[in-house]
């Protein structure tokens, strides 16, 4: 199997600056991706499988499904029966390591599977590592299936988190599952470290998910706008409104440090 960068969600002071979790820009080739949860009992997470599935659904809705420039829609899946290896096995046969030799026994057939896991080496033998994610089923540049393992060892840090932080942790891991890497900026969900008050995405998150899952433009050719005779008063109001709107947009992009440009088209 291929080698992938192993992405751990750490509660440490190290930072990363990755945008994608692979070097080929891999992503799911469908707009709707289901999030499923393994049906085996999680002894140390402090929540049931149904609650874990509900948290994952909320993570998708609260964060990734709100990006209007992305076509990706994350859906609530189901509790599914899987092999015991998903609960006890290594995600990568060479773990712990900076890259991953995928364990064929834990390959996810389709979509995203979340499973609690008790193998300490998946989490660098540390209770502070909340989860590990491996997109582990590929066809070329297409992700067919991705695995999220949540640390279910005793004294794990996940069980002590508040509900909102648990949702954000799962949203972060889901970001890895759909192809994103870490951000070096703490304002982003894909920042390596858990933030208790995280409720929105940052610019890196939005840019990354839009890059992997762009919204197709509704028109394939050049469109036209026809202005009807509005009279001098309405025409002046339209002009003033247009100038104010352009000024507002310009200031917004200037503050964010971004440049907005469109390619020239011959119509």
pLDDT tens-place string over residues 205-245:
999 999 999 998 655 444 444 445 545 555 555 555 555 55
Is residue 87 helix, strand or coil?
helix
- What's residue 147's pLDDT? 98
Q: Tell me whether residue 119 is in a domain.
A: yes
Q: Tell me whether residue 115 is in a domain.
A: yes
pLDDT, one tens digit per residue, over 148-204 is 999 999 999 999 999 999 999 999 999 999 999 998 888 999 998 877 778 899 999
Q: Are 194 and 170 in contact (CB under 8 A)?
A: no
Question: What total of structural domains would you count in the chain?
Answer: 1
pLDDT at 67 over 70: yes
Buried residues in 8-20 as b, exposed as e (16+ CB within 10 A): bbbeeeeeeebbb
Q: Tell me whether residue 263 is in a domain.
A: no
Could you give the CA distance from residue 82 to residue 42 in angstroms, rounded to a whole number?
14
Q: Tell me whether residue 259 is in a domain.
A: no
Could you give the CA distance from residue 19 to residue 14 in angstroms, rounded to a whole number?
16
- Domain carrying residue 98: 3-212
Q: Tell me whether residue 265 is in a domain.
A: no
Interval 109-134 mean pLDDT: 95
- What's residue 188's pLDDT? 94
The model's pTM is 0.76
Largest CA distance in the chain: 75
pLDDT, one tens digit per residue, over 91-120 is 999 866 667 899 999 999 999 999 999 999
CATH code, domain with 117: 3.40.390.10
Q: Tell me whether residue 261 is in a domain.
A: no
Q: Tell me whether residue 234 is in a domain.
A: no
Residues 6+ apart with CB under 8 A from 250: none
- What's residue 224's pLDDT? 43
Q: Tell me whether residue 60 is in a domain.
A: yes
């Amino acid at each position: 199997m291929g080698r992938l960068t192993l992405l751990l969600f750490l509660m440490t002071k190290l930072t990363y600056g990755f945008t994608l979790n692979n070097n080929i820009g891999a992503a799911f080739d469908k707009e709707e991706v289901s999030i499923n949860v393994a049906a085996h009992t999680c002894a140390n997470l402090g929540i049931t499988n149904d609650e874990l599935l509900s948290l994952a659904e909320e993570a998708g809705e609260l964060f990734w499904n709100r990006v209007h420039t992305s076509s990706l829609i994350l859906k609530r899946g189901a509790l599914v029966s899987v092999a015991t290896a998903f609960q006890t096995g290594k995600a990568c046969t060479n773990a712990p390591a900076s890259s991953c030799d995928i364990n064929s026994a834990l390959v996810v057939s389709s979509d995203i599977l979340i499973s609690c896991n008790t193998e300490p080496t998946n989490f660098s033998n540390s209770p502070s590592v909340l989860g590990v994610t491996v997109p582990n089923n590929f066809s070329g540049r297409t992700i067919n299936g991705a695995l999220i393992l949540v640390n279910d060892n005793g004294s794990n840090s996940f069980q002590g988190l508040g509900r909102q932080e648990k949702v954000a942790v799962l949203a972060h891991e889901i970001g890895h599952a759909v192809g994103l890497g870490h951000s070096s900026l703490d304002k982003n969900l894909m920042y390596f470290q858990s933030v208790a008050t995280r409720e929105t995405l940052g610019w890196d998150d939005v840019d990354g998910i839009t890059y992997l899952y762009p919204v197709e433009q509704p028109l394939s050719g050049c469109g036209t706008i026809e202005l009807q005779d509005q009279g001098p008063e309405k025409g002046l109001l339209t002009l003033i409104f247009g100038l104010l709107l352009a000024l507002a947009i310009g200031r917004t992009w200037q503050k964010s440090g971004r440049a907005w440009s469109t390619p020239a088209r011959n119509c």
